[in-house]
Structure 1
Amino acid sequence: MDDALLPRNTAALRALLDKGVTMPVPLTVEIGDEVDVEHVSGDGVVIHPGARIRGASTVISAGCELGREGPVTIEDCRLGRGVALKGGYAARATFLDGANLGLGHHVREGCLLEEESGGAHCVGLKQTILMPFVTLGSLINFCDCLMAGGTSRTEHSEVGSSYIHFNFTPGGDKTTPSLFGDVPRGVLLREPPIFLGGQGGAVGPVRTAYGAVVAAGSVLRSDIREERSLTMVGPPPAMTQRDFTGREYRGINRLVAKNLDYLASLDALEAWYAEVRLPFFAAQGALGVLVGEGAREAIAAGRRERITRLLALAARMDPGQAPQAAFAAHAQALTEIFGGSYAAVPESLSTHAAATAAAGAPYVEAIRALPDDLVNAGQHWLAGIIEDRWADVEALLPGVARLRHREG
């Protein structure tokens, strides 16, 4: 065959085949020169025709399947065991064991899909964190948010098809991260699921409590604080028109509070990974360690994104408006609160996690089997990290801190 018709990296293809990777039509698979084939497992990995694998940090663990439903491209992605990306594009994202997405997915930087989470066809994600078992339907845009809730594949948080998380304000800002559930309770896998009905949306930033059910066709414009509640949003108001400058921030303190709460939640999640999850990645060997690093990088990317957006917002503030001027004056100091040290993890929790991981227990099973005293200790520790961040916020902007728990 003419060499011009061959893939550019046939040596990598041969190395993967020799390792045991299944490629039904290997000459249709593109492997970037920068890809380290030692970071691709040969155990049960299937790469279908039309796949493009790129990026020096890409990791493909045992049992992964790429491109079952159509061509797939991954760039600098970390894939845990048994991940299925059935057709689409993913870049600078991390997928933990059993995560999956259907045909037409488009996943960008800062995404972390934890165990057995995923979505059906045509799902768009960016700066999105899905905790274990969270399931998205089809034709969904779900960027700039974190979703938790549920305990298993049969009881999990879910987003119905044709759902949008609106993450861009009329003024052109992306200071819109939403929390569906939370981190301190969500990581412990004991909370009732959240259901967001299809053909609907949420105008970020909003917070939604565990057990909330939102009827199909509803567009959320405010928080749902009541747990185990049913919300039905009525038809939109009649069309109105008024002058609009694009720089109206009458609710600036509320907007800033939502962003800071999201940042504090990312700090708590990062601490959970560092102190509790780390041994479970290490127990999976070298590839597991790399996947764990990718997860923590996704969380750090989320923090950088939120800080960038907050500082951009601060630059747009009107110095003649007192709340806006106060935020602008303290914006840099506010962002420096996050990403630093945190209270020590309860020793009983970290010791138990390390011992359980060393014994070979999968992460999800280990967390679901935690005794109540360790569940309470973990939740209290993570909530304390968030409270500590808010104490620092209050010292700078008490008017913002007061709005933290106010519905809106």
Structure 2
Amino acid sequence: MSEPYDSARQLAERGIVIPHPSTVEIDPSVKPELIGAGTVIHAGCRIRGERTSIGPGCVLGEEEPVTLVNCRLGERVSLRGGYFAESVFLDRVSIGAGAHVRPGCILEEEVAAGHAVGLKQTILMPFVTLGSLINFCDCLMAGGASRRNHSEVGSSYVHFNFTPHQDKATASLIGDVPRGVMLDQPPIFLGGQGGLVGPRFIEFGTVVAAGTICRRDITEPGLLVFGETGQHLRERPYTPGLYGDISRIIAANLRYIGNIHALAAWYEDVRSRFAGDRFSSSCVAGALSALKLILAERLARMDEFAEKVARSAEAARGQPGSGGQGDPAAMQREFAERWPVLRTVLAEPPVEGETPRLRDQFLNFLSAIPSQSTYIEAVRSLPRDAKIIGVAWLDSVVDSCRRLW
């Protein structure tokens, strides 16, 4: 009798529902005490990794087998089928069959997704909903306040995160962390059969019509964005590896990294207060690990970007317009030279200026909320003054990164 089968049988004896234990593989490294009561593990599932934790009442493999590797699940999470690795799924997350969730994802409370969804280093804040047949890697999405009022990504949507220059300095913010965590912002709608060309910022309250490829930042709230893909096709000379104005790319990446630092601060100082059992504590620890992974990835991608723009600046020497006013190669050279210092600063959590004072003021408000409140209940019950201070605290974290360039 194999060890994986022995583990499945032992879990069944502990009250975990495994209808067909002989078909389920549970690696010996998985800790039985980190699989909660009432969890259902259907036939064909494979569970691996010493960091795996599965909260009470979860359901795995209802539609097809699940492979779960070092993931942290809250309560009543439903993963209906697919591959899930090194990611965090908070309470009542639901994902359909055919999922491919690679390391570094954080799906917060009541996030839902249909079938055939691909994610990698994706952060979805509470209630965000994805349709089916979606590739949504290297982005953060917030917005909305409940399951009835939530941000949405329509089916057949793509976040484009690889450029013809062969770089991935392309992470996008759909909403942001400082306002998104307060669960009171207008939802964002990204219509199906469309895409977002990263790196982009999309403001809360934006509606992008179905069939639209969005190639610009949307910085004003409440706008409808539309346009037919392929309309007015144009041609111009293009040399892969030869960059133009990189100011927007730099700004977008610094802003994204700032938001990652802000969310890490939120988990350390706020989320951790609601980690009342071993499963929620594991989820908080897993989220902080995922954020470290995302930060390391963003810095590595900017390392590559800096190398590429340095080569671009060198290649531009002697070309018409080089050396003149507004020459993009000048900024490229400056960024490549300054990046090592910028990287050192960005690698550490920002703690400067008003950040500690604002954090402490916000935490004082939070301490007044009844201790039995859930995380969602607590955030919703915060008075307006507390939310203003909380947003200012997290904005100060983001701004400390944005001001570097």
Using the size of structure 1 for normalisation, the TM-score is 0.91
Contact 1:279/1:354 (<8 A) preserved: no
Find the partner of 2:65 among 58, 71, 85. 71
Q: Which residue of 2 aligns with 1:347?
A: 360
2:170 corresponds in structure 1 to: 176
Number of the residue aligned with 1:247: 241
Structure 2 SS opposite 1:210? coil
Three-state SS of the structure 1 residue aligned to 2:63 is coil
Q: Which amino acid aligns with 1:370?
A: L
2:334 paired with 1:306: no
CA distance, structure 1, for counterparts of residue 213 and residue 226 of structure 2: 9
Contact 1:188–1:367 (CA under 8 A) maintained in structure 2: yes
CA contact (8 A) 1:59 1:77 kept: yes
Query: Contact 2:213/2:229 (CA < 8 Å) preserved in 1?
Result: no
Q: Deviations for 1:85-119, whole angstroms, at most 9, x for unmatched residues?
A: 00000101111111111000100011000000120
Alignment check: 8 A CA contact 1:196 1:215 kept: yes
The letter for the 2-side match of 1:35 is: V
Letter paired with 1:277: R
The answer to whether 1:107 aligns with 2:119 is no
Kept after mapping to 1: 8 A contact 2:30/2:52: yes
Match of 1:316, SS? helix
| Contact 2:157 2:195 survives alignment (8 Å) | yes
Once the two structures are superposed, residues 234-267 of structure 1 have per-residue CA deviations (whole angstroms, 9 ceiling, x without a partner) of 3424555554331021021211111111001111
SS in 2 for 1:89: strand
Candidates 79, 84, 89, aligned match of 1:90: 84
Q: Aligned to 1:167, which of 145, 161, 167?
A: 161
State the match for 1:267 in structure 2.
Answer: 261
Quote the RMSD (CA, aligned, Å): 1.5
- 1:348–1:323: structure 2 CA closer, same or farther, 3 Å change rule? closer
Shift of 1:232: 0.9
Kept in 2: contact 1:72–1:89 (CA 8 A): yes
Confirm or deny that 1:335 pairs with 2:325.
no
Residue 382 of structure 1: how far off its partner (Å): 0.7
Q: Gapped runs of 5+ residues in structure 2?
A: 315-328
Partner SS, residue 63 of structure 1: coil
Q: What residue in structure 2 maps to residue 19 of structure 1?
A: 14
Q: What displacement does 1:347 show? A: 2.9
| Structure 1 unaligned spans of 5+ | 395-408
AA aligned opposite 1:254: R
Aligned-partner Cα distance in 2 for 1:266–1:187 = 12
In 2, the alpha carbon distance for the partners of 1:77 and 1:183 equals: 23
Matches within 5 A, 1:171-320: 171-281=165-275, 283=276, 285-317=277-309, 318-320=312-314
Give how far 1:68 is off: 0.6
CA–CA distance in 2 between the matches of 1:233 and 1:251?
25
1:292-313 CA distances to partner (integer Å, 9 max, x unpaired)? 1001111111111110000011
Q: How many residues align?
A: 384
Tell me the distance in 2 between the aligned counterparts of 1:328 and 1:13: 53
> 2:207·2:223 contact (CA, 8 Å) conserved in 1?
yes
Given that residues 261 and 350 in structure 2 are in contact (C-alpha distance below 8 angstroms), is that contact kept between their aligned partners in structure 1? no
Q: CA deviation at 1:33?
A: 2.0
For residues 134-159 of structure 1, give each alpha carbon's deviation from its aligned partner in whole angstroms, at most 9, with x where no partner exists.
00000000001000000000000000
Alignment-derived partner of residue 326 in structure 2: none
Give 2:34's aligned amino acid: H
